[in-house]
Amino acid sequence: MAIRKVARLGHPVLRQKCRDVTREEISSPEMRRLVRDMIDTMHDYGGVGLAAPQVHESVRLAVIE
């Protein structure tokens, strides 16, 4: 698990179109790692939600707590 760098308002990555996550990807080790990293990052930044593009991943995925 890792804390990832969060893109701030105005960063070009936040304007890119995201791709959908496939059924096969959902249970992959890489996607599980991304979700764990996003949760750790969200907690570290004191947030209640985080979208994948905010951690420089252009996929349609968000974590909310």
pLDDT digits (tens, 9 = 90+) for 8-60: 999 999 999 999 999 999 999 999 999 999 999 999 999 999 999 999 999 99
Q: In whole angstroms, what is the distance from residue 38 CA to residue 4 CA?
A: 7
pTM listed for this prediction: 0.91
pLDDT at 1: 75
- For the chain, the maximum distance between any two Cα atoms, rounded to a whole number of angstroms, is 32
Could you identify the residue written with the tokens 């570290």?
A: 44
